[in-house]
Structure 1
Amino acid sequence: MQVYATTHRGLERVTAEEIRELGGKLQKYGNGRVYFKCDERLISSLNYHMRTCERIIVLLKSVKVTGLEDIYKEIKDIDFSFIKPNESFAVRSKRVGVHDFNSMDIARVAGDAIIESYQSSAKKRLKVNLDSPDNIIRVELIHDLLLVGVDTTGDKGLHRRGYRVYQHPAPLNPTIAAALIRISDWRPEKILVDPMCGSGTILVEAALVGSDIPPGRVREGGELPFNPKLKILGVEKFGKHVKGCRETLSKLGIDFIKVIQGDAEHLDQHVKEADTIVTNPPYGIRIGRKSKIKKLYHNFLKTAKDILTENGSITLLTPHEKILKSTATKLDYEWSETPIVYGNLPVKIFKLTI
């Protein structure tokens, strides 16, 4: 089967590697999508195990179009006989680029085309159910590229793990957190520290990775077999976030991760050593003036050098590329960088080494 996974733009290589490890035969990737081939059995496994992507979609058609008429024609030519006569469907549309129509127009035209196609072949009118359809047809227009597919994930994307108890004002997407951990090359036998842990998303994702627990098992609910030998530590400046983080960990039955209230600018006062630091520092909206951001980055990276073990590293997400590079240069760090788009914000993942 021809399949594609959706992910954050810039993380295609990370997601592609994860798909390859799970058995998918990679073809190409770009624009937040990874294209590959696999059999039907692997699709359910990918939805259960994938950590860094949002959706798994069986591709029905990929073609260049010029407008709504083309969209209607191309979708009408697709064979939708896989939908059973007693089943319902809904179209979920997305549009990227400049067009003289919107996503709702695409969904309307696509829905009409699907109904007409099915009517012609099966002599029956398909039922539309926008709230809880049996089949979700994804119709995405990326500039002039039309992608039509069957969404095997459902309306709740794979980033919806279901473990979050406390609502942080700026929570980190779990797929981004999982990608940060992959990029960091952390291994379960090593010490991982998040010095600005917020509501604990990186801590939880690390615990899942280190215990080899797939996200699908978390979504199922029930007891999770965590590895109690993992050495994971969280530090957070604000007491309400510390409390919220602990509540999430407690809900999951994680009692081996210690979360302490402390300041990342004085990390050496709270943490003796770390092999891997993975974190999502606060952005300007949360912290205020750029002078505060410069101070935070300088003091954090300076004290982090004192606790990092040999061959240790720091992996972080930031929109403040210039500040990060300037600070890292002054403190003699080397780095690699991965530009991504998080929401509509261009940011970069940096991996720093001494």
Structure 2
Amino acid sequence: MNYELIATTTFGIEAITSAELKALGYENLKSDNGKITFEGDEMDIAICNTWLRTADRVLIKVAEFKAESFEELFQGTLAVNWSSIIPENGVMHVVGKSIKSKLYSVPDCQSIVKKAVVQSMKNTYNKEWFEENGPVYKIEVAILKDIVTLTIDTTGPGLHKRGYRELAGAAPLKETLAAALVLISKWDPSRVLADLFCGSGTIPIEAALIGKNIAPGLKRRFICEDWPTMNKELWQQVREGAEKSIKDIDFTIYASDIDGRVLKTARENAQKAGVMKYISFQKLPMKEFSSKKKYGVLISNPPYGERLGEAEEVVQIYNDLGELYRKLDAWSFYVLTSHPEFQKYFKQKADKNRKLYNGRIQCYYYQYIHQIPNRK
């Protein structure tokens, strides 16, 4: 069965997720704020959940219509053939959001949609009551400027839940955003990579998964695998294909931090992710890092100075980072921070910068790029 699918993503990395989808062979992509829409079947749902590194989740779009009243919302939802996806005993969990719309009460919208879905199911199955003791179907009603989009989530816990990070530092970077930082840098394993503020290890682990071509969703399950419409053999095929796609390649990523406790967590996370042998963890102040290799890549998410009393310390970190950049021969630096004056303290204007969101914090990804000669 063919579906209209939506890969949701963090604001600012839509182009990166689109590039991932193109690399997986998808065409006719429609990109919007925080989402990319495309077509696919059950196999594509399995492929995208298993392989997408920067998307938040994969949704099935079931309807889109205008609604300025609860009656219009009810009728628009009722018009959907919900039983083509949801079985008699499906658990129907409705979530919602509303932005700049006449129907602004999200709980009321959720209630109306649930009633309409149940009525549609009654019409199909000729039953008055449903047990709802089977697989889970999370339905989202999203209303933007009176346009309703109804979707069903195929992912379950977000795609950033790779399964390797039960433990994290004080301000963890999401795995999906960390993967985006690596993909934006265009790093490949022929170059040295370092993260000198590695925390719980998310950036180096995601880089190692990319370097080895390990599918990020390989070691986890997805909510739609329990649906009767999903062919279990398809999922097995996708996982077997992902196993065969892992590259037989060796490289070393340098990951350091000044906090020994958080480094212990990083090592445990790398072990769980199966990439421990590709990452060299070290307790080391950033300014003591050195390398004789040329054209290396530094990708880091240093402190932002958000906490009280950190301001001076953070200015010094950015100063030292700028000094290190000028010492390392032809290295490229990629730094994510929310600090408005990063470039002033780094003492150099970035070649590029990109607005990204780390959780709810607006950040910029400052990019200082050295191309390898004879390489585009």
| TM-score, length of structure 1 as denominator length | 0.88
- Give 1:150's aligned residue: 152
Contact 2:257–2:284 under 8 Å retained in 1: yes
Q: After TM superposition, give the deviation of residue 184 of structure 1 in Å.
A: 0.5
Tell me the distance in 1 between the aligned counterparts of 2:159 and 2:108. 27
- Give 1:48's aligned residue: 50
- Give 1:200's aligned residue: 201
- Give 2:115's aligned residue: 112
The answer to whether the aligner puts 1:315 opposite 2:318 as a matched pair is no
- Give 2:192's aligned residue: 191
Closer/same/farther in 2, CA of residues 30 and 230 from structure 1, 3 Å limit: same
Closer/same/farther in 2, CA of residues 298 and 287 from structure 1, 3 Å limit: farther
Tell me the distance in 2 between the aligned counterparts of 1:67 and 1:203. 49
Q: After TM superposition, give the deviation of residue 79 of structure 1 in Å.
A: 1.3
- Give 1:9's aligned residue: 11
Match of 1:178, SS state, is helix
Match of residue 256, structure 1, among 272, 278, 302: 278
Contact 1:88–1:135 under 8 Å retained in 2: yes
Contact 2:252–2:280 under 8 Å retained in 1: no
How many residues were matched structurally?
343
Unpaired segments ≥5 residues, structure 2: 222-238, 371-376
Closer/same/farther in 2, CA of residues 126 and 299 from structure 1, 3 Å limit: farther
Tell me the distance in 2 between the aligned counterparts of 1:217 and 1:286. 37
The answer to whether the aligner puts 1:341 opposite 2:357 as a matched pair is yes
Tell me the distance in 1 between the aligned counterparts of 2:54 and 2:86. 32
Q: How does 1:1-354 map to 2 (within 5 A)?
A: 1-83=3-85, 85-98=87-100, 101-125=104-128, 127=130, 129=132, 133-153=135-155, 155-219=156-220, 229-253=250-274, 254-264=276-286, 266-268=287-289, 270-273=290-293, 275-286=296-307, 288-307=309-328, 309-310=329-330, 312-320=331-339, 322-328=340-346, 330-331=347-348, 333-353=349-369
Match of 1:20, SS state, is helix
Contact 1:196–1:234 under 8 Å retained in 2: yes
Structure 2 counterpart of 1:296, which letter? I
Percent identical pairs in the alignment equals 28
Q: After TM superposition, give the deviation of residue 128 of structure 1 in Å.
A: 6.5
Please provide the CA RMSD for this pair: 2.5
Closer/same/farther in 2, CA of residues 165 and 242 from structure 1, 3 Å limit: same
Unpaired segments ≥5 residues, structure 1: none
Q: Comparing 42-51 with 27-36, which one deviates more in the overlay?
A: 27-36
Contact 2:100–2:146 under 8 Å retained in 1: no
Q: After TM superposition, give the deviation of residue 170 of structure 1 in Å.
A: 1.0
User: Greater strand percent: which structure?
Assistant: 1
